[in-house]
Amino acid sequence: MGGFVIQHNLSAMNSQRTYGLVADRNFKSAEKLSSGYKVNRAADDAAGLAISEKMRRQIRGLRQAEDNIQDGISFVQVADGALNETHDILQRMNELCVKASNDTLSDTDRSYINEEIQAIKKESDRIFNTTSFNNRNIWNIEIEDPILVGYDKVQALGVTDSSSEKVYVTADNLGYLPIPGTFTASADSTNGVKVSWTGFNGTTYSSDYISWDDLEASSYDFNIADHLSSYSGDELATLQAFLNKKIYMNVETTVATLDDYIASLNNASLSTNYTNYATATFKAPSDTSGVSASATIEIYAKDKSSHAGTENAYDFASTSNDSFIEPSPSTGSNLTQISGNGTTSVTTAATSTDPWILKFTMEGIGTVTAKSSGVSWTSNDDRSENRGVWWQYYNGKNGSTYKVPHSATSGGNLAGVMEALKGDTGVLSEKKGGDTNNSGNIYISFDLTADTAFTAADGNSTQKVGTLTIDIPVDITDDDESILAKVNAALNTNTRIDLSHSGHDTFNWYTPSENHHTVDVPVYGGQIGMIIQSGSEADNDIPIVYEKLNNGVLGIRNLEITDSASAQAAIDTLKGAFKVVNEQRSLFGAYQNRMEHAVLNDNNIRINTQDSESQIRDTNMAKEMVNYSLTNILKQSGESMLAQANQSKQGVLSLLQ
């Protein structure tokens, strides 16, 4: 460029333009290096950005799909674990049914087996009803197009069997207490529910009606004592004292109707229980070395004013105006021993099958015979190694255990006593060649029956009067002869029974323990379907379809063991149940294998798509660092050139000097 001008510094302007271009390239290179992305805005690569975002949608969808599939795997593993427990239950049931099919067992033995079967059968249904994953039930779920497989019979309204607190029977409250059989509930659709009864004073008492709305509001629980507005003063206080107990009702609201509740409650009896026995003391004429006796005379108690004197037999008088059989004293001369003992020979005793028979008279009943009916015994030995030898435990409700005495097969006689001593599990037996003898108790039980039928307090004709039990403690120092001597001392012609009644008579009442009105609740099976979203696209899914299971579908809902034939039939039923569970476990196993392959495939697609997307979107750091270094050098060079271009115009000042 010719001339020496000052209006325009073209070299500086050119240097500035070039510097700006290089600075922009340097900025973009720095942005790529700092962000790690080659495309930071659409302007960087419009087509590449669109392709990258499409790939990113697929990649992130696949990553979530992998999590979905893992959740699906966990779901089928939970189901398989539950079915594994069901398998164990079915195996145990099958084992028990095979055992029950054997004719070496009695029907009583089978009843014990059936108790366990019913218990674990309930657990099977509970598993199907409650097993869930992430609060989603696996089998207990509403489904489209269900298949009816049968019906469950469910009580429309179950009333908890709960007794009141004990109430002492006194002269003040006796008249108000319910005569047995008159304590009932009444129900209708208009008024609700009430309870009424007839007292021993002949008066009929009744609670208020409790409306259905009030019952629903209180969850169908109510206390009779809170609904006695017709009474006041001492009468109200007396009634409330023995009625102050809540009745709890479990209502099947999902299937039962008001008519079902009425059918369950109307005329339902509330049971009464009076102290209906007198405790006796065994009185023998000489030292009986610790022999004691207890007796139960089954009479309805009146009050504690009725006593018998010491050494007297119990006499029973009744009046035409009293529902109780009232005890009164008498002499002991009416008690005689007829047969059953007298021998001192251990050998003779071991084969003696004669029962002991005691007779005495009771006013209002007549002659009563006490006849020995059985011998039982327990050992005080509770060592675990002797379980099932001298003693056994019965597994009762709520996991409790009770010691159960052995019963003599010889019956209620001297032979039974000898069996209790030296039988295979007798309290004086030596276990399998020399174990230490153990102490215990032998019990001789008697049935007390009237020779002539009489009318009991409940209005029914009966000959049953009560029971008597003689308790003979056995010590490790005892032998056959000493035990025989105890029995002979306890039971002879001079034996007396003192039935002195010294305690309070008590009254209890019970809410209805059973309601026979049931509702047929349908039980459904059918297919349950669910979707595992296994990919990034709408149609990338794994459908899981399996059968709704419950005891009805397995065919074991009504399975029960009563005899050998029913046990054998149950074996075939369980075979079908095994088939159903096996098929579903196999199906869940196949689904798990499929999902494990699916998650690996999703992982493969995601990784390779991620690599391709990286080629478009991510910065090649090595290449970009070279560009950044180059633009940095050019930028610094441009700055130098711009400075020199600006300096060149300073020469014009020298012309003015």
3-state secondary structure string, 517-528?
CEEEEEEEECEE
Compute the distance between CA of residue 475 and CA of residue 479 in angstroms, rounded to an integer: 9
Residue 361, token pair as written in the block: 């008279």
237 contacts: CB under 8 Å, gap ≥ 6:
none
What mean pLDDT is predicted for residues 334-354?
A: 69
- 592 neighbors 546 (Cβ within 8 angstroms): no
Q: Which residues of 197-234 are buried (b: 16+ CB within 10 A; e: fewer)?
A: bebbeeeebebbbbebeebeeeebebebbebbeebeee
With cut-offs at 50, 70 and 90, classify the pLDDT of residue 41.
confident
pLDDT at residue 280 is higher than 60: no
* Encoded amino acid at 264, one letter: S
pLDDT tens track for 418-443 = 888 877 777 777 654 334 456 788 88
- Average confidence score pLDDT of the chain: 77
Higher pLDDT, 252 or 600: 600
**pLDDT at res. 580:** 94
* Encoded amino acid at 615, one letter: Q
Question: How large a percentage of the chain has pLDDT more than 70?
Answer: 74
Vertex 613, ends 611 and 619: CA angle to 5°? 90
pLDDT tens track for 103-118 = 888 888 888 899 899 8
What mean pLDDT is predicted for residues 538-567?
A: 89
What mean pLDDT is predicted for residues 199-211?
A: 92
pLDDT at residue 295 is higher than 70: no
User: What's the CA dihedral at 607, 612, 613, 615 to 10 degrees?
Assistant: 130
Vertex 598, ends 597 and 599: CA angle to 5°? 95
**pLDDT at res. 578:** 94
pLDDT at residue 96 is higher than 60: yes
pLDDT at residue 100 is higher than 60: yes
Compute the distance between CA of residue 367 and CA of residue 300 in angstroms, rounded to an integer: 19
With cut-offs at 50, 70 and 90, classify the pLDDT of residue 370.
confident
Higher pLDDT, 334 or 483: 483
**Length of the chain, in residues:** 657
Higher pLDDT, 343 or 312: 343
Q: Which residues of 134-167 are buried (b: 16+ CB within 10 A; e: fewer)?
A: eeeebbeeeeeeeeebbebeebbbbbeeeebeeb
User: How far does Cα 102 stand from its chain's mean position?
Assistant: 30
Higher pLDDT, 329 or 54: 54
Compute the distance between CA of residue 218 and CA of residue 469 in angstroms, rounded to an integer: 47
Compute the distance between CA of residue 464 and CA of residue 452 in angstroms, rounded to an integer: 10
pLDDT at residue 559 is higher than 80: yes
* Encoded amino acid at 108, one letter: T
pLDDT at residue 303 is higher than 70: no
Q: How many CB atoms lie under 10 A from the CB of residue 511?
A: 22
Compute the distance between CA of residue 39 and CA of residue 55 in angstroms, rounded to an integer: 14
> Which one, of 537, 492, 527, lies nearest residue 337 by Cα?
492
With cut-offs at 50, 70 and 90, classify the pLDDT of residue 597.
very high
DSSP state of 192: E
What is the dihedral sign for C-alpha 191, 194, 197, 201?
Answer: negative
pLDDT at residue 292 is higher than 70: no
What mean pLDDT is predicted for residues 81-98?
A: 94
**pLDDT at res. 336:** 44
With cut-offs at 50, 70 and 90, classify the pLDDT of residue 288.
low
Q: Classify residue 183 as left (phi > 0), alpha (psi -120 to 50) or beta.
A: beta
Higher pLDDT, 35 or 215: 215
With cut-offs at 50, 70 and 90, classify the pLDDT of residue 496.
low
**pLDDT at res. 399:** 43
pLDDT at residue 337 is higher than 50: no
**pLDDT at res. 276:** 52
Q: How many CB atoms lie under 10 A from the CB of residue 425?
A: 17
What is the dihedral sign for C-alpha 396, 402, 403, 409?
Answer: negative
Residue 300, token pair as written in the block: 């309805």
What is the dihedral sign for C-alpha 156, 161, 167, 170?
Answer: positive
Compute the distance between CA of residue 545 and CA of residue 542 in angstroms, rounded to an integer: 10
CATH 3.30.70.260 applies to domain 37-143+527-618: no
Compute the distance between CA of residue 91 and CA of residue 543 in angstroms, rounded to an integer: 31
Compute the distance between CA of residue 428 and CA of residue 393 in angstroms, rounded to an integer: 20
Residue 357, token pair as written in the block: 């028979």
* Alpha helix segments (H runs only) across 465-563: 480-490, 551-554
* Alpha helix segments (H runs only) across 208-297: 212-217, 233-243, 258-265
Domain edges within the chain = 10-36+619-656, 37-143+527-618, 157-274, 281-501
**pLDDT at res. 309:** 29
Residue 363, token pair as written in the block: 């006013």
- 511 neighbors 247 (Cβ within 8 angstroms): yes
- 293 neighbors 281 (Cβ within 8 angstroms): yes
pLDDT tens track for 135-187 = 899 998 888 888 887 777 777 777 765 666 678 777 788 788 888 778 888 99
